[in-house]
A and B are shown apart, each in its own frame.
Chain A
Amino acid sequence: MNVSSAESTIPDAPSGGNDPASEPAFAAQAKRMKFCDRCGASRSGDSGACAFCEARAVASTLPATQPADGAGIVASLALYGALLAISIVALAWSLLTERDIGLTGELWMTGVFTLLTLGFVLWHRADLVPLLRRRGSIRWYGMAIAMSFGTFLLASLFIKLLTLIGLEELRYSDSYLDELGAGWGWVILLLSIVAQPAVMEELAFRGVILGSLRKQLSLTEAAVVSSAMFAFLHLAVPSFPHLLILGLLLAFLTIKSGSIYPAMLLHACHNALVVLTEQLWYTGIDVGL
């Protein structure tokens, strides 16, 4: 049985020219290291710990993954479970009271989600600090913006296909604009549907969960598992395919740039496109077509 430990299906960045590194001092070589020599993650050239395996640039006998006692997997499942509980409680509430949780309910959920995530981020700050400190090169941000059009089109395509068989298209922005009016409605809308998920979900999935899983799984495996968890948490089975792809791209951006911010940008742009097109181009699907 082939247990993958270090292979990665994520495309590698193009190699630079030959760099013989003739001096034996590893510290000097470290400053030119583009990739971590423990785990292969991109390092954007500065010296110091790798964002992903905290390996120092000096030769070390420590393995990249430290499969200690499943702690990383448990921590990831704990955060996932806690976030899932919020949605389950909200769902149970609306079923019991036989009405929708409404805007207030949604804002409460957003608040609890934020607090929970920040709690886990604090607990795992050792893993998060390198990702938060590094900004990554500008090309990752350009890539994030470009990718967001792709992911948005993909999502729209999948959802439109499913509306043809009777799925009701979920509209995110109406309740905000109806209840709060156009002014404040847009502000709260952009904060809670664009900004908050982009920041908090990235901290949760690409920050805490990817970082924790990385301790027991290879980079690719951790990316796939964290993306799957990201897709499942949204609790919309028809959305699984495009959410999985979005999750994989977000993980790719985080791993390659060594920073959490490009993924936040992709996520924010994707959500913004969904919300803006919802309002600007009202689409009603005539299922009779």
Chain B
Amino acid sequence: MVPCPHCGAENAPDARFCAECGKALPDTHAGSPRVVDVASSGAGASLQGEELQKQQKKAFTALIIVAVLTTLGAILIGFVVANVDQTDPQLSEMFQIGHVLTATYGIIAAIFWGLAIWSRRNPLPAAIIGLVLYGTLFLLGMIMNPAQAVNPCSWIIPLLIMAMLVSAIQAGLKYRRLLAGQPA
């Protein structure tokens, strides 16, 4: 029986969390990855680990691209809005929409910057959220701009980004299986 360092309760030898207080037990199974195990299982496994880590960096690349593009979009719209003649009644509605659009692009850019930073530490969930958000916005964009949707060129970059995120997710899963000592 293993005592919990937080509350002192006795736990089963292979428990990962204390059954009394719920805190993680100081065990190699719960918590940080067992990098030692991966390395000691042979050069092949550690090479595979490096390979998968490289693939996970795709998540960061894809997310940072989207973050930069969206930021540029926000700046561009903000600039246009700031220079619109506010006194012209016909343009005033555009002015209001422009503000909201800038805020929208701004929020989306902030989210992708956040995801990009998170992906350096933990690429798998960041890549999943990035893929979901990007896919959603892409679909919305296509519906709202059908003229652009039928142009195949406008699909290239989005599909590339989504492909990078999908492969990052797959690599992330394989990497975790490797760390858990399971067959990739």
Contact = CB atoms under 8 A, between A and B. Distances in A.
A135 B169 CA distance: 35
Interface stretch (A27-35, A107-115, A270-278): A27-35
Given A26-B12, A88-B143, A235 B53 contact: no
Nearest to B25: A37
A167 B22 contact: no
Contact of A12 (B16, B21, B107, B177): B21
Contacts of B100: 162, 165-167, 238
Interface string A62-96: 01110101100100010010001000100110010
B9 A95 contact: no
Interface in B95-144: 95-97, 99-100, 103-104, 107-108, 111, 121-122, 124-125, 128-129, 131-133, 136, 139-140, 143-144
A229 to B, nearest CB: 6
A67 B180 contact: yes
B136 A35 contact: no
A162 B103 contact: yes
B99 A39 contact: no
Nearest to A241: B107
Interface residues of B, number: 59
Contact of A39 (B17, B32, B180): B17
B61 interface: no
A5 B10 contact: no
A237 B107 contact: yes
Contact of B22 (A40, A225, A241): A40
B31 interface: yes
Interface string A229-262: 1001101011011000000000000000000000
Interface stretch (A136-144, A190-198, A216-224): A216-224
A18 interface: yes
B10 A3 contact: no
A243 B95 CA distance: 27
B9 A20 contact: yes
B140 A235 contact: yes
A42 interface: yes
Interface string A27-65: 001001111111111100000000000000001110111
B68 interface: no
A283 interface: no
A167 B100 CA distance: 6
A170 interface: no
A65 B17 CA distance: 13
Nearest to A20: B10
Tell me what chain A mostly uses at the interface: helix, strand, loop, or mixed: loop
B124 A217 contact: yes
Contact of A3 (B9, B12, B21, B33): B33
Contact of B19 (A3, A35, A238): A35
A16 interface: yes
Nearest to A228: B129
A75 B44 CA distance: 32
Contact of B23 (A12, A19, A59, A217): A12
B160 to A, nearest CB: 19
Contacts of A224: 125, 129
A109 to B, nearest CB: 15
A229 B17 contact: no
B133 A5 contact: no
A5 B17 contact: no
A69 B169 CA distance: 11
Interface string B156-184: 00000000000001100101110110100
12 contacts: A6-B24, A15-B7, A15-B22, A21-B10, A36-B19, A39-B16, A63-B29, A77-B131, A224-B129, A235-B136, A238-B104, A240-B111
Interface of B: 1, 6-24, 29-33, 53, 95-97, 99-100, 103-104, 107-108, 111, 121-122, 124-125, 128-129, 131-133, 136, 139-140, 143-144, 169-170, 173, 175-177, 179-180, 182
Q: Which 8 A-B pairs have the closest CB atoms?
A: A15-B21, A35-B22, A37-B15, A166-B96, A40-B17, A15-B7, A33-B19, A6-B30
Given A166-B95, A167-B103, A224-B129, 9 more contacts: A3-B124, A5-B180, A24-B1, A34-B20, A60-B14, A88-B143, A162-B100, A165-B100, A232-B136
